[in-house]
Amino acid sequence: MSGFSLITDQDIIKGFCTDSSNYPGHAEALIRPKSTAEVSEILKEANSKKIPVTAIGNRSSLTGSAAAEGGWILDTSQMTKIIEINQGEKFALAEPGMMLSDFKKTILDEGLFYAPDPTSEKECFFGGSIATNASGSRTFKYGSTKKYVRALEVVLASGEILNIRRLNIEKNTFGYLPFQNMVDIFVGSEGTLGIITKAEVELLVKPENFFGGMAFFKTLSECLDFVVNVRKNLINQTPTITPRAVELFDHLGLDIIRPDSPFKIPANAKAAIFFEQEYTSDSNNGCEALLNNWLSFLESNKALVDDTIIAEQAKQQEELRRLRHKVPSSLFEEGGKYTKEGGGKISTDWSVPINRIHEIIDFAKKLKEEARIEDPVIYGHIGNGHPHYNFISKNAEQKKQILEVVHKTCKRVITLGGTIAAEHGIGKIKKDFMKYQYPESIIKSMKSLKQSLDPNNILAPGNIF
């Protein structure tokens, strides 16, 4: 007799069958384990009966990765403990089911800082952010989630509990490079190789202070020039500005935030950059010195410098971040109006080297004009060469036209040395793009790894492959 209970009421299960992508899912049962031991027991039974198991967090995925294709849904929301916060060695050990924003606040209250900041941090779980290698605006300075994961406890499809730790050494030639740090195999694996039940992550010293801002430009091209020059500036031995976030709003993004903005957004602005800059009490890196550096740098890069918004107070900073987050939330709402007609929101996640950003944006614009589809809203992590294109299709025919443009754009992204999925993962929606990113032999190798760890293919079937 199993020690766990299955919820089989379809009225309850239906509320857990899809994610933010609105990809349709279905399942026969829902399970809510409270411990690693329970997860192990669940997977042992599921594996013996070849029952699919899709692990979910708060279902904020944009790729359908949390939408089950039958079998059991394993909900991690009951596993919410922060087991340890180690001040001396600067790490935290926690279970996967805590809201990421709550986890980060707890860390901040201890005088430490967990750097990853996906836009969905108030809607995603700690474990889900690791399973997707999430990133956000501050990735510009701090990098993605993978960089901070020191150790994982993972339950394999067989029920085996695996404890793996990132090696803290400078040299290693033992085995194939991707396997030398096993942690990296599970980070971003979207629940296909194992279920993360504990994670130890690196913490940083809490930044002393920062100011936020928004700078405006007359054209998107001038805005992109500014971003390229920010990256060039950082190569200098003594860069004049050192932002931790560099985020884009195109003219349509500005139209979304303008009606609800407590700040004045100039009517002639066709693009803007949201930025954050950390500073210390040291006079050379203090607030006044860095503000002057920013204004000088903006002026030399054709910004509408007199209209620049600077947010030094916490309330102002939160307002700027709210406006940044309003763009995707508004687009989700708009796209949701057309799902019944076969349409909806279609977003891209590609990224290119920053020196190719003009080229890919010009290429995408030409494709859009040739296809005679409506302009996408372009916003997001431009500092990393990673703008999100968001199209709204009102029916199935429009969706088909838009997807043709997206596929052509993604093929070009690869030729420019970029990636098709920079932060959202692959899930079920972007599987067809795999063939552009990797040759068939490499895809087969990845499938072989999946087969060796999950021979019955019970874990998150439909994700990635």
CATH code where residue 96 lies: 3.30.465.10
What is the pLDDT at residue 191?
98
Does the pLDDT of residue 133 top 80, yes or no? yes
Query: Same structural domain for residues 90 and 198?
Result: yes
Give the Å distances, CA to CA, from 198 to 96, 122, 359: 6, 20, 42
280 and 361 belong to one structural domain: no
Residue-wise pLDDT tens digits, 13-24:
999 999 998 899
Q: How many domains does the chain have?
A: 3
pLDDT of residue 217: 98
- Burial (CB count within 10 angstroms: exposed 0-12, middle 13-18, buried 19+), residue 125: buried
Q: Between helices 220-235 and 357-371, what is the axis angle to 10°?
A: 160
Q: What is the pLDDT of residue 299?
A: 98
Q: What is the tens place of the pLDDT at every residue in 417-443?
A: 999 999 999 999 999 999 999 999 999
- Is 42's pLDDT higher than 60? yes
Examine the domain organization and report whether 411 and 355 are in the same domain.
yes
- Strand ranges in 1-130 using DSSP code E only, listed in sequence order: 29-31, 53-56, 72-75, 82-86, 91-94, 112-113
Residue 334 · residue 252 · CB < 8 Å: no
Q: Is residue 45 part of a domain?
A: no
Residue 354 domain-assigned?
Answer: yes
Neighbours of 375 (CB within 10 A): 13
Residues 240 and 194 in one domain: no
The amino acid occupying position 247 is E
- As a whole number, mean pLDDT of residues 186-211 equals 97
449 in a structural domain = no
76-92 mean pLDDT: 98
Listed in sequence order, the residues at least 6 apart from 307 whose beta carbon sits closer than 8 Å to its beta carbon are: 216, 264, 265, 266, 269
Is pLDDT of 281 > 90?
no
- Positive/negative CA dihedral, 182, 183, 188, 191: positive
Task: Say yes or no: 89 and 181 in one domain.
Answer: yes
The C-alpha atoms of residue 325 and residue 380 are separated, in whole angstroms, by: 10
CB 424 within 8 A of CB 398: no
Nearest-angstrom CA–CA distance, 465 and 457: 11
pLDDT band at 88 (very low <50, low <70, confident <90, very high): very high
CATH code, domain carrying 356 = 3.30.70.2740
What's residue 202's pLDDT? Answer: 98
pLDDT for 142 beyond 80: yes
DSSP state string for 256-283? HHGGG-SS---TT--EEEEEEEEE-SSG
- Residue range 387-404: mean pLDDT, rounded: 97
- Spell out the residues 6+ positions from residue 19 whose beta carbon is closer than 8 angstroms to its own: 56, 59, 60, 61, 62, 63, 64, 65, 66, 67
Q: Are 197 and 240 in the same domain? A: no
Domain boundary residue, one of 156, 187, 205: 205
Question: Which whole number is the average pLDDT over 209-236?
Answer: 97
Q: Is residue 163 part of a domain?
A: yes
88/172 same-domain check: yes
Q: How confident is the model at residue 98 (pLDDT cuts 50, 70, 90)?
A: very high
Q: What is the mean pLDDT of the chain?
A: 96
Asked if 296 and 346 sit in the same domain, the reply is no
**Domain assignment of residue 224, yes or no:** yes
We report the CATH number of the domain holding residue 230 as 3.30.70.2190
Query: If you average pLDDT over residues 118-131, what whole number do you get?
Result: 95
> Domain for residue 460, yes or no?
no
Please report whether residue 375 resides in a domain: yes
Structural domain harbouring 100:
82-205
Q: Which residue has the tokens 């790894």?
A: 449
pLDDT of the residue at 284 = 67
Rounded Cα distance, 295 and 289, in Å: 10
Q: β-pairing, 91-94 with 82-86? A: antiparallel
Tens digit of each residue's pLDDT (9 = 90 or more) over 282-332: 766 789 999 999 999 999 999 999 999 999 999 999 999 999 999 999 999
Tokens of 133: 């290698």
With 0-12 CB in 10 A as exposed, 13-18 as middle and 19+ as buried, what is 281?
exposed
Residue 1 has pLDDT above 70, yes or no: no
Does residue 118 form part of some domain? yes
Is the pLDDT reported for residue 336 higher than 80?
Answer: yes
Residues 235 and 294 in one domain: yes
Identify the three-state secondary structure at position 47: helix
List pLDDT tens digits, range 68-78: 999 999 999 99
Distance CA 74, CA 427 (A): 17
Rounded CA gap, 96 and 134, in Å? 14
164, pLDDT greater than 70: yes
Q: Are residues 157 and 224 in the same domain?
A: no
The confidence score (pLDDT) of residue 291 equals: 96
**Structure-block tokens of residue 415:** 């030729």
- Percent of the chain's residues with pLDDT above 70: 99
Residues 218 and 288 in one domain: yes
In whole angstroms, give the CA distance from residue 146 to residue 134. Answer: 8
DSSP for 279-339 reads: E-SSGGGSHHHHHHHHHHHHHHTT--GGG-EEE-SHHHHHHHHHHHHHHHHHHHHHHHTTG
Which of 187, 205, 223 finishes a domain?
205
Would the pLDDT of 41 be above 90? Answer: yes
